[in-house]
Structure 1
């Protein structure tokens, strides 16, 4: 059992990451690659990636065992959406942290690069950066639109959960393994009981496409508190479902609804879809008139979000 202790100050500092965090998705997808229990959901992805993974990225599988501890330095960001910034943060890890994290890995480490990495060897760090980039480019980038769509839809659900039940209601509804008994968030875990005290820092909630079975947190409490949780799988827009949605609405309008599900302005919608602002506004208007989206003016912009019907249609 993992117990997260909140103060009143922590509750008002809970926030949801703005999108999928590429470093967490790298780590957790590496876990999925070796977890047979994930086959029903990720089977096609696993089969494709396992047989075609570049050799320079296979080292990562040793650093991210599917069971037990994975080094905290591999996920240094708290909901950042930029892969380059995430990798730069990994490569900037102090040697003391590299050594301490790698010492906690279970099992023997026959690859000499792991030992060199623990010493902060510059060439080995460069190799790690290249392995992370190669893995992201091969295993995640081709599916990133689908990953983002799933996370955006989940964010929309969490926003509505917050509006209906406040911060406590949103926290208690994050996942079936989570329960809230004020002021403690309890999370079922395979590991021995652990208590995390937030001490007014708040908590970043990171919805994850590849997080599987149960939420997780970093072991090292010196890092900013982050709770990574699986997106609601019934909101996952699988390939077949996506084709059906495109057949119903048209490709661009279906993509517009997926983007709007995460909340966006007209300008952001246009940028994400690669269309003009006028076209983005027209698509948003059609979705709004159909009851699939709502719009609110905020200062000089119009903020679009999916309606309950729109979220249900995505599901």
Structure 2
């Protein structure tokens, strides 16, 4: 049900990412299910002008409760299966990105922060120019701009289509340039042991199930369970059961330990470069959660 609405390219309906989502998934979903009919009609009119929609989309566009309930069930199922297992790891990356931008702003000014947001963006006061798939101008008119770092996009930032909505710019979190996991694992072995160090490095980029870790590290599932129990007690990973699977994810403490080990393998390796100092500006990052709003170039 979600694929016709959340396409890889083209318009992404604004109503799917209500601002209440910043408070949590349940709050965002509740707001979505109570979207005003005029908003639904406008969003589906734009979406329908770009692609052929299935017949049930008309019920959604009309705001029929049964159709909205089906959409809510689909979104909740996707969140539970695809996002929840790695949500804490994503939030950690977002917190790191926000802290990095705030540090640049404190040390070099707002304009320097804007100038270094992403390779696809260029700051030439008073305009932030963004590489984008459509021609669009967003005038703030004193409203301020909410910057939302996201792990759900990898190429270009996006903004909302409707200029009447709060100005939001979602931009991809830069990928960290790290040395290989093998070097980090070697540095952690004296502290954690070979298998536990390998487990941490293997789940660096996302959750892994016990059976998957056993296959990748060529040990038994029982062995993995023993080692993950130790890592969990140390606060380095969290483990959550999803149906028949137990998924293991780095905690912020585990991610920090791994970052330190990675940084130590190649002296001078850095994830970010500070822009040159600039003057004062009028836009600043706000405290946000992973991506909420996205309009015109895919979700």
CA gap 1:136/1:181 in 2 versus in 1, 3 angstroms: same
In the alignment, structure 1 residue 137 sits paired with structure 2 residue 137? no
Deviations 1:150-207 (A, max 9, x none): 2222122112211222111111111001111111111011212x21111111111111
SS of residue matched to 2:19: coil
Question: Contact (CA 8 Å) 1:217, 1:225: kept in 2 or not?
Answer: yes
For residues 240 and 145 of structure 1, what CA distance do their matches in structure 2 show?
A: 24
Question: Contact (CA 8 Å) 2:121, 2:131: kept in 1 or not?
Answer: yes
After TM superposition, the structure 1 = structure 2 runs for residues 72-91 of structure 1, keeping only pairs within 5 Å, are: 72-77=14-19, 80-91=22-33
Name the residue aligned to 1:172: 115
Q: 1:94 aligns with which of 8, 29, 36?
A: 36
In the alignment, structure 1 residue 120 sits paired with structure 2 residue 63? yes
CA gap 1:98/1:207 in 2 versus in 1, 3 angstroms: same
After TM superposition, the structure 1 = structure 2 runs for residues 1-315 of structure 1, keeping only pairs within 5 Å, are: 59-77=1-19, 80-105=22-47, 106-110=50-54, 112-192=55-135, 194-234=136-176, 312=270
Once the two structures are TM-superposed, the CA of residue 240 in structure 1 deviates from its matched residue by: 8.2
Question: Contact (CA 8 Å) 1:78, 1:204: kept in 2 or not?
Answer: no
CA gap 1:244/1:234 in 2 versus in 1, 3 angstroms: farther
TM-score, normalization: structure 1?
0.58
For residues 78 and 236 of structure 1, what CA distance do their matches in structure 2 show?
A: 35
CA gap 1:272/1:60 in 2 versus in 1, 3 angstroms: farther
For residues 136 and 248 of structure 1, what CA distance do their matches in structure 2 show?
A: 38
CA gap 1:313/1:185 in 2 versus in 1, 3 angstroms: closer
- The count of aligned residue pairs is 211
For residues 197 and 244 of structure 1, what CA distance do their matches in structure 2 show?
A: 52
Unaligned stretches of 5+ in structure 1? 1-58, 259-270, 275-282, 293-308
Name the residue aligned to 2:289: none
For residues 174 and 182 of structure 1, what CA distance do their matches in structure 2 show?
A: 14
The structure in which a higher percent of residues are helix is: 1
SS of residue matched to 1:104: helix
SS of residue matched to 2:109: helix
For residues 241 and 92 of structure 1, what CA distance do their matches in structure 2 show?
A: 51
Deviations 1:64-99 (A, max 9, x none): 111110100011127715000111111121000001
Q: Which of 237-246 and 165-174 deviates more? A: 237-246
Greater than 6 Å deviation, 4+ residue runs: 235-246, 271-274
SS of residue matched to 1:186: strand
TM-score, normalization: structure 2?
0.60
